[in-house]
Every structure is written in C-alpha cells, then in structure tokens.
C-alpha cells in the first residue's frame, strides 16, 4: 500500500459514520485534493461544540455557511451571531460559476444551488426581530456578574431583587433598577434598613455607575419587554428546513459588554428551559458566535467562569456552540478544551510572536505522520482548512487538511430591499415589534414617593396651622376685641349709668 492509499484509508475509516453526517469537503495530501477521501462530521457529535479559526480572508464565513446550510437541510435550526454583516446571503440561492465547478470536480462532490429560510434578529435599532429580556429574568447572580460586582455589591443587588419581589414590583428595564437604587438611598432608607439591614450609599453608587456604563453601550434597548422566547429559535419551515436565525451585530462591535450580556443570558436561558436530551442523534440547535475574541477580551473573570460552566453543561441539552475567531489563542484554555470540532484555516506568520502562536496552535491538534502541522497552517489556501472532529464514539478523528465544498447559497450579502422583504414576511418581527412599558418598579415607586410627599405635605400643613394657632394665643386678644371690651366697659361703668339717668330725669321734668 503506497502513501496515498494509506492516507485515503485512514481518512475514510476515521471519518466513517453510520448515521447522518455533514459533508465538509475532500482531504488534501501534498497540496493535492483527493477525490476518494471525504471529510464528514457526524450529526450526533455536533453538540460537542467547536472552533472555526483563521486569518482574515481565509474563508471562515463560507465555512460557517456550508455548515449552516447542511444543518438547515437536516431540519436543525441555527443561530448565527453576525458581527461583520456578511452572512445574510444564505437566504438566496447561489450561482454556479466555473471556479466552483472546478473545485467540486476535484473533491468529487456534486454541486447544486439552494436557498434557506432566514430570520433576521437585532439587539439594536437595526431592522429585524427585536431581542429583549427583563432584569427579573436575569436574576441577582447573573445580573451581578454582568456588571462585574464584588461579593458585597452582589449582596446589595440580591436585597434589591428581594425587596422588589416582596413588594410585587417587577424589575423590567434599567430605569426600574436605577429607581430602586435612588429610592433606597433617599425616601426608602429607613424602610430598607428596618427590613433588610443598612446599605452603604457608596456601594449603591458603584452599582449605579456600572449600570450607566451598560446603559451607554445600548443596554436600555435590550432590557425590557416583550422578552424573546427561545422556542422561536427552534422553528422549522414548511419544507422541513431549520430556520437560520441571523443576529445582525454590525453596529455593536464597539459595545462588547452588551454582546457578552446577550450571549450569556441567551445561553443561560437555553440551558434552563431546554430538557435533557442525552446522546441524541442530532442537535436541537447550533449557535455560531462570530468574532468571539470580543467576548473574551472584555469579559470579567466571573463572566468567563460563567460562560465556561454553561459551555460544559449545555451540550446535554442538545445545543452545540461554535466560536469563530482569528486565532485559537483568543479562546480561554478552559473553553478550548471543551471543543470537539476544530476547523483551522490558514494563519499568517509576520512576526516572532505570530510564529510562536502558530506553534502553540499546532500543538492543539492530533499528531499526523502525513503533515507537518506548523508548516501546513501557513500554506493553506482560501477555502482550505485543517480539520479534526469527534467520531460517533467520541474519539478524535485523524487530522485532515481539507478542501471545503462551496456554499449552495449566495456568497454575498443581501440588499436593503431583500432585507426589507424578509422582515415584511416575518411573523416574529410583528410579534416583537411592540415596545411594552407596563407598570413596574419605576412607576410604582414614583407613585409611592408621591404618596409619601403628599402625606408629608399634609403633616407639614397641619403642623404649620397648629403652630400659628399657638402663636395667636400667646399674642393675646385682637384690636377689635380690645375696642369692643373698652366700649362695653364704658357702657357698663357707674359714672356712665349715673350720667345717663341724670340726663333722662331732666328731660322728664321738663
């Protein structure tokens, strides 16, 4: 058996699958694609998470498109967090061109064009399905971790949630939370101290500043009603294809805290609501997180720990999470260790640091007698990648340099009119378009403060009236009273009476 035959046998055995699988492309040996060595990923292992990495322009987005198309074809919904805004073309049928035909002939995979059902989502004011969540749904622990609070500050947040629960005050948006903080610092200080203990104003001041920071990154748009129902991510169209939900994030690249907040809340909610699936034949949902370094770069230690915990546990719910970034070193080692599928596009070595990182990246892949991994990483062409996955038994597959198949859908973005067309047909856009602002902590506390002020004003008026009465009593009788008493005294005096009777006697004598 020659080298080529041995390699083909290793690939075919390593990537063999009894159940359904995603066909990525054809294996490459000595820079030549082989028509008889196909690289396939079993659907059964796609809840084991993954990494798609590589330098800019090496084909990462097209790889995600290929994966999403086939997942959708198997009736598996997808959530794609699209920060660059270049993924929306999956909604439209592609066009076969000569270079695509040639590529598919080399790897012996037929090519056909297709479009896929798409829902456009938005965290900001971009058009699409508005995603929101209430503060109450986050709970005190998760909300504190998003704000990066210490234990003392987290304890105060827990008291705020408890106070609102006890008084049936919904915490829906950031203005609700800020109002509660202002209330316990001022009008409600005695009430809180009596029932829950004394709270330092310096602690509440720090919490308030953290909330303002989140608010400045667009948090006021995210927190509120109506809350997004994760079951709306799990839809299948009338043709049995899973919906590809594209979260458009092009306008929040400079707002990583908002991005981290949404991602963590989504993963936490999916984990809490989805039932246990065990070793299912295929995942319930696959999530692709583009530009993942934005999350990890700005995330606090506690936030990273929370993400790592959820990544470890969520696969039992049938959810696969795939991180997309330029360099695998952008992903924390604790999370990197959880990723079963790795698709590594080319890396560029311009500096000594680049070469060191390439060597570290190569060490994360299985050793192979057919490749010098470090050299292959720098010589891969566009649309080529090193691949290793887990087979149906959970065993890592052999390392395979792969020429990836081309997407079946459009390899370009949608026009504004096409985006509008999708949104106009969407039932979810209509469902989540209304911004509900029902009575919550903000309104209820405003009413409570108004009642307190009215009561205080009434007491103050009564006190003022009582004070004025006492002052009048101390000052003695009024001028009118004095004059009246003087006249009465004159009229009743002995001299006046005698004079009056004397005059009367004289008149009678006459």
Model confidence pLDDT, tens digit, residues 102-117: 999 999 999 999 999 9
Q: Taking 80 as the threshold, does the pLDDT of residue 436 lie above it? A: no
pLDDT: which is higher, 138 or 342: 342
Query: How many Cβ atoms are within 10 Å of 503's Cβ, its own excluded?
Result: 10
Partner residues linked to 40 by β-bridges: 23
pLDDT confidence bin for 503, thresholds 50/70/90: very low
- Cβ-in-10-Å burial (0-12, 13-18, 19+) of 139 comes to middle
Q: Give the model's pLDDT for residue 500.
A: 46
Residue where the block lists tokens 């004159």: 490
Q: Give the model's pLDDT for residue 481.
A: 55
Query: How many Cβ atoms are within 10 Å of 427's Cβ, its own excluded?
Result: 11
Q: Give the model's pLDDT for residue 400.
A: 95
pLDDT confidence bin for 120, thresholds 50/70/90: very high
Partner residues linked to 409 by β-bridges: 93
pTM above 0.85, yes or no: no
> Could you give the percent of the chain with pLDDT greater than 90?
47
Partner residues linked to 343 by β-bridges: 52, 387
pLDDT confidence bin for 278, thresholds 50/70/90: confident
Model confidence pLDDT, tens digit, residues 405-421: 999 999 999 999 999 99
Q: Taking 60 as the threshold, does the pLDDT of residue 501 lie above it? A: no
Find the mean pLDDT for residues 18-38: 93
CA–CA dist 118, 502 (Å, integer): 120
Q: Taking 60 as the threshold, does the pLDDT of residue 478 lie above it? A: no
**Which string of DSSP letters, residue by residue, matches 363-407?**
TTS---SS--HHHHHHH--TTEEEEE-B-TTSPBPPPEEEEEPPP
Three-state DSSP state, 286? strand
Averaged confidence pLDDT in the chain: 86
Which residues fall within 8 angstroms of residue 159, CB to CB, at 6 or more apart? Answer: 192, 196, 197, 199
pLDDT: which is higher, 322 or 450: 322
- 51 contacts 336 by C-beta, under 8 angstroms: yes
pLDDT confidence bin for 468, thresholds 50/70/90: confident
- 61 contacts 343 by C-beta, under 8 angstroms: no
**Which string of DSSP letters, residue by residue, matches 117-177?**
-EEEEESSSSSSEEP-B-HHHHHHHHHHHHHT--HHHHHHHHHHHHHHHHTT----SHHHH
CA–CA dist 360, 22 (Å, integer): 28
Tell me the angle at which helices 174-185 and 441-475 cross, rounded to the nearest 10 degrees.
30
CA–CA dist 169, 368 (Å, integer): 61
CA–CA dist 297, 330 (Å, integer): 8
- 79 contacts 231 by C-beta, under 8 angstroms: no
Q: Give the model's pLDDT for residue 479.
A: 53
């Amino acid at each position: 058996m020659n080298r080529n035959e041995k390699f083909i046998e290793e690939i075919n055995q390593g990537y063999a699958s009894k159940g359904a699988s995603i066909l990525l492309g054809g294996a490459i040996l000595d820079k030549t694609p082989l028509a008889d060595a196909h690289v396939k990923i079993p659907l059964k292992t796609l809840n084991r998470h993954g990494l798609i990495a590589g330098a800019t322009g090496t084909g990462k987005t097209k790889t995600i498109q290929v994966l999403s198309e086939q997942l959708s074809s198997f009736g598996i919904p997808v959530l794609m967090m699209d920060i660059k805004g270049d993924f929306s073309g999956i909604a439209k049928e592609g066009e076969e061109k000569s270079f695509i035909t040639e590529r598919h002939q080399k790897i012996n995979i037929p090519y056909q064009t297709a479009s896929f059902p798409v829902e456009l989502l938005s965290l900001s004011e971009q058009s699409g399905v508005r995603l929101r969540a209430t503060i109450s749904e986050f709970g005190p622990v998760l909300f504190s971790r998003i704000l990066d609070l210490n234990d003392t500050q987290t304890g105060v947040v827990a008291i705020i949630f408890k106070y609102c629960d006890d008084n049936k005050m919904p915490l829906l948006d950031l203005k609700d939370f800020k109002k509660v903080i202002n209330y316990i610092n001022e009008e409600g200080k005695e009430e809180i101290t009596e029932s829950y203990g004394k709270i330092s104003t310096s602690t509440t001041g720090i919490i308030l500043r953290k909330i303002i920071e989140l608010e400045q990154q667009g948090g006021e748009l995210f927190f509120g009603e109506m809350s997004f129902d994760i079951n709306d991510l799990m839809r299948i169209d009338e043709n049995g294809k899973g919906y590809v939900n594209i979260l458009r994030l092009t306008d929040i690249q400079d707002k990583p805290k908002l991005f981290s907040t949404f991602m963590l809340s989504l993963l936490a909610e999916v984990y809490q609501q989805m039932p246990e699936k065990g070793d299912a034949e295929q995942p319930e949902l696959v999530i692709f997180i583009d530009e993942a370094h934005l999350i990890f770069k700005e995330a606090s230690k506690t936030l990273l720990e929370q993400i790592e915990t959820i990544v470890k546990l969520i696969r039992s719910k049938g959810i696969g999470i795939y991180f997309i970034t330029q360099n695998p070193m952008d992903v924390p080692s604790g999370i990197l260790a959880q990723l079963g599928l790795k698709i590594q596009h080319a890396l560029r070595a311009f500096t000594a640091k680049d070469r060191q990182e390439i060597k570290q990246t190569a060490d994360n892949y299985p050793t192979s007698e057919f490749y010098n991994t470090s050299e292959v990483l720098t010589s891969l062409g566009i649309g080529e990648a090193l691949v290793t996955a887990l087979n149906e038994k959970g065993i890592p597959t052999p390392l395979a340099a792969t020429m990836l198949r081309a997407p079946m859908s459009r390899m370009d973005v949608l026009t504004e009119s096409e985006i509008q067309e999708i949104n106009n047909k969407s039932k979810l856009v209509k469902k989540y378009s209304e911004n509900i602002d029902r009575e919550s902590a903000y309104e209820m506390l405003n009413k409570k403060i108004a009642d307190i002020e009215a009561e205080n004003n009434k007491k103050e008026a009564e006190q003022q009236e009582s004070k004025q009465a006492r002052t009048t009593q101390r000052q003695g009788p009024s001028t009118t009273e004095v004059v009246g008493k003087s006249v009465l005294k004159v009229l009743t005096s002995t001299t006046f009476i005698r004079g009056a009777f004397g005059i009367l006697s004289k008149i009678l004598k006459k």
